[in-house]
């Protein structure tokens, strides 16, 4: 049995990240049933969706206010989470003070350009009693100095966790460990170190298991989803990683309710809209391309070779990150199809 890092916490993100596959249309009754089944597995946290401004379809795992979540919170006794995206107009004032009628954890997506705003947002959430994790979107874009400065900034508040996020699914094991090693040295020891994967290069399991083999001072939080459901090529598979932790780290996760949730709710989604490895998501990862472009170009009737050239051209013109379909159409017309 491996005996390195044993302070490990799992967060299920089936409903939140999985929503990129089906526009979060799991169904209100189904959201509650899925949440309750995942809760029976002994997973430590369950993320039940986005919280965003606006009027949302009640069948979606997207919520306009904490009040909309109340009916979903029980009878599960596991800690529940939502995620909020800084810069998209959801004021922190809309969060009520933490109570038994709210979620326990709020995860805050941090875009590099909004660090100051994110810090203040997180500080206020903590003052309201919530556990707070910062999701460091596209962690690979930070230089070492920038990464260290960001950690020193967030050391000033009592976060639940700071997450390394592989937004484009391009992290290798060595890249991930590099960021973990740095954070382990300077992040306050009472703040967990998290990892959120995307499986474009089929590295999620290897990456997640590799950080557990290093004797870090910090608790390690890892995201996973049932059958790996998620954006693009998907995420770390919850059922596989639970089994790995049971076998190698003395965990006691019950995989049976996860299998039931997979059979009853997730496999039917997969049959309709499959996710997982594809050569296009592989190409998007190695070229540092926003994976949202993959869905857009699927219908362009381009060969794999043409798509590879297109992605390289997108880097040359610096349109690989911010989603801009007009720019892509121009490149296709003028550079790829001649």
Q: Each residue of 69-93: pLDDT tens digit?
A: 877 776 566 799 999 998 777 999 9
Radius of gyration for the chain, computed over Cα atoms and rounded to the nearest angstrom? 20
- The residue ranking higher by pLDDT, 210 or 300, is 210
- Which residue, chain included where needed, has tokens 């302070």? 7
Strand partners, 163: 135, 194
Using the predicted structure, report yes or no on whether residue 259 has a pLDDT greater than 70.
yes
Mean pLDDT of all residues in 216-231: 96
Percent of the chain with pLDDT over 70: 96
pLDDT at residue 245, rounded to an integer: 96
> Residue length, the chain?
338
Total-model pTM: 0.92
The mean pLDDT value for 267-278 works out to: 93
**How far, in Å, CA of 222 to CA of 209, rounded?**
10
Residue 304's alpha-carbon distances to 15, 294, 307, 315, 326, in angstroms, are 32, 12, 5, 17, 21
pLDDT score at 1:
46
E strand map for the chain: 8-12, 45-51, 62-63, 79-85, 105-110, 131-136, 161-165, 192-196, 220-224
Partners of 237 in beta bridges:
225
Q: Report d(CA 152, CA 25) in Å as an integer.
A: 39
Give the residue-averaged pLDDT of 172-201: 96
Higher pLDDT, 183 or 293: 183
Interval 231-257 mean pLDDT? 95
How crowded is residue 74: how many other Cβ atoms within 10 Å of its Cβ? 13
Arithmetic mean of pLDDT, 316-322? 86
Domain boundaries, the chain: 8-272, 279-336
Confidence of residue 55 (pLDDT cuts 50, 70, 90): confident
Strand partners, 196: 165
Mean pLDDT score across all residues of the chain: 92
> Six-digit token pair at 218?
């910090």
Superfamily of segment(s) 8-272: Aldolase class I (3.20.20.70)
Prior bond of 313 cis (ω within 30°): no
Q: With contact defined as beta carbons under 8 Å apart, do 249 and 2 qualify? A: yes
By the 8 A CB rule, do 289 and 311 touch?
Answer: yes
Q: Give SS3 for 225.
A: strand
pLDDT in tens, 92-140: 999 999 998 899 999 999 988 899 999 999 999 999 999 999 999 999 9
Could you tell me the pLDDT band of residue 301, with boundaries at 50, 70 and 90? confident
Q: Give yes or no for residue 263 having a pLDDT over 60.
A: yes
Mean pLDDT to the nearest integer, 260-278: 95
Please determine, for residue 3, whether its predicted confidence score (pLDDT) is greater than 60: no
CA–CA separation, 131 and 127 (whole Å): 10
What's the CA gap between 284 and 308, in Å, rounded?
Answer: 8
The 8-class DSSP code of residue 35 comes to: H
Report the pLDDT value the prediction gives residue 338, as an integer from 0 to 100: 66
Instruction: Give the rounded distance of the alpha carbon of 26 from its chain centre.
Output: 18
Mean pLDDT of 270-274: 94
């Amino acid at each position: 049995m491996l005996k390195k890092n044993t302070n490990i916490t799992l967060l299920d993100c089936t409903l939140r990240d999985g929503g990129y596959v089906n526009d979060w249309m799991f169904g209100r009754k189904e959201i509650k049933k899925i949440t309750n089944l995942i809760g029976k597995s002994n997973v430590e946290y369950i993320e039940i969706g986005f919280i965003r401004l606006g009027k949302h379809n009640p069948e979606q795992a997207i919520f306009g206010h904490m009040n909309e979540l109340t009916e979903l919170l029980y009878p599960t006794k596991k800690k529940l989470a939502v995620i909020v995206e800084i810069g998209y107009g959801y004021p922190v004032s809309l969060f009520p003070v933490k109570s038994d009628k709210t979620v326990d954890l709020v995860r805050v997506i941090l875009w590099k350009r909004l660090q100051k705003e994110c810090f203040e947002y997180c500080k206020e959430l903590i003052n309201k009693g919530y556990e707070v994790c910062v999701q460091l979107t596209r962690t690979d874009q930070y230089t070492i100095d920038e990464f260290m400065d960001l950690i020193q900034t967030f050391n000033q508040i009592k976060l639940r966790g700071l997450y390394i996020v592989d937004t484009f699914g391009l992290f290798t094991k060595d890249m991930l460990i590099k960021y973990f090693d740095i954070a382990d040295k300077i992040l306050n020891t009472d703040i967990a170190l998290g990892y959120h994967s995307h499986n474009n290069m089929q590295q999620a399991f290897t990456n997640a298991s590799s950080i557990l083999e290093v004797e870090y001072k910090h608790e390690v939080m890892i995201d996973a989803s049932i059958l790996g459901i998620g954006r693009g090529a998907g995420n770390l598979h919850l059922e596989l990683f639970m089994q790995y932790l049971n076998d190698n780290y003395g965990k006691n996760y019950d995989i049976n309710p996860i299998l039931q949730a997979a059979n009853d709710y997730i496999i039917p989604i997969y049959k309709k809209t499959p996710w997982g490895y594809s050569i296009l998501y592989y190409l998007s990862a190695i070229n540092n391309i926003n994976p949202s472009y993959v869905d857009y170009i699927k219908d362009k009737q381009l060969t794999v070779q043409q798509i590879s050239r297109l992605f390289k051209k997108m880097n040359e013109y610096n349109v690989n990150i911010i989603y801009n379909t007009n720019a892509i159409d121009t490149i296709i017309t003028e550079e790829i199809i001649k």
